[in-house]
Chain A
């Protein structure tokens, strides 16, 4: 297990949510829209929302097609946390499956690498997560499942300004 390069230990957890849904491709859009909705009250920029939606979509798609290999009754777990410190807000999204796991995480994260070229997977999923988020951590165990933790600092917002 790698140490997290973004530490939330000294931050205050100000909001939290949990979702759990079937591993159906229809739910890819549900997951990213729900996460975007979760942070709307912080008034993020359009660019921040687009970046986060893409990263969440990549992680959830991976869980569905790689973790569970499209076994639709399996469940995908997504949780969202908003942390705060003097620098501002940080969004953390954890996407978890209890599927087949990743044998070689480093290989899986290489750009253009895919185990499913027949499905026209571009192999860009992890590269996009890394490009659009500040930090991506992957923990996995074969036959146990995979947990992807995505973190992104949000611009400094005055929460009070949007309360009423």
Chain B
């Protein structure tokens, strides 16, 4: 299954079931490569499949936010529920990473 797809200027990242340090290093690399070679200026992280996340997920989001923000782009999250919502709220990233309310 492809985790990253682009629609117009939007990069949609389907996050894995478990987001930890083991998973994030590879994922960050793939997203950055796509961003660098592509034309996207908006990244949407889709948590629909995600059942576990620790602070590595926050590192992943903040790292991408820094890169995308540096060229005026935007990072959004969607389908955030339960434990993942609690983690995003605790980390404070909600202040600069908004929610995407549409369907993807």
* Residues of A bordering B, CB below 8 Å: 25-26, 28-29, 32, 46-47, 50-51, 53-54, 57-58, 61, 64-65, 119-122, 124-125, 127-128, 131
Query: Is B21 among interface residues, defined by CB-CB distance under 8 A?
Result: yes
Query: Is B6 among interface residues, defined by CB-CB distance under 8 A?
Result: no
CB distance from A94 to the nearest CB of B (A): 18
B21 with A54: CB separation less than 8 A = no
B18 with A54: CB separation less than 8 A = no
Binary CB contact string for chain B from 31 to 64 against chain A (1 if under 8 A, 0 otherwise): 0000000000000000000001111101110110
List 3 A-B pairs, minimum CB-CB distance, nearest first.
Answer: A25-B22, A120-B59, A124-B55
CB distance from A91 to the nearest CB of B (A): 17
30 contacts between A and B (CB under 8 A): A25-B20, A25-B25, A28-B22, A29-B18, A29-B20, A46-B82, A47-B83, A50-B52, A50-B82, A50-B83, A51-B83, A54-B53, A54-B83, A54-B87, A58-B54, A61-B21, A61-B54, A65-B21, A119-B59, A120-B28, A120-B59, A120-B60, A121-B55, A122-B55, A122-B59, A122-B62, A124-B55, A124-B58, A125-B54, A125-B55
Chain B interface size band reads 20 to 34
CB distance from A122 to the nearest CB of B (A): 4
Task: Return chain B residues, CB-CB under 8 Å to A124.
Answer: 55, 58, 90-91
Query: Which residue of the partner chain A has the closest CB to B93?
Result: A122
* Residues of B bordering A, CB below 8 Å: 18, 20-22, 24-25, 28, 52-56, 58-60, 62-63, 82-83, 87, 90-91
Task: Return chain B residues, CB-CB under 8 Å to A122.
Answer: 55-56, 58-59, 62, 91
Query: Which residue of the partner chain B has the closest CB to A114?
Result: B59
Give Cα distance in the complex from A100 to B20, angstroms. 22
CB distance from B27 to the nearest CB of A (A): 11
Give Cα distance in the complex from A119 to B60, angstroms. 10
Task: Return chain A residues, CB-CB under 8 Å to B18.
Answer: 29
Task: Return chain B residues, CB-CB under 8 Å to A125.
Answer: 54-55
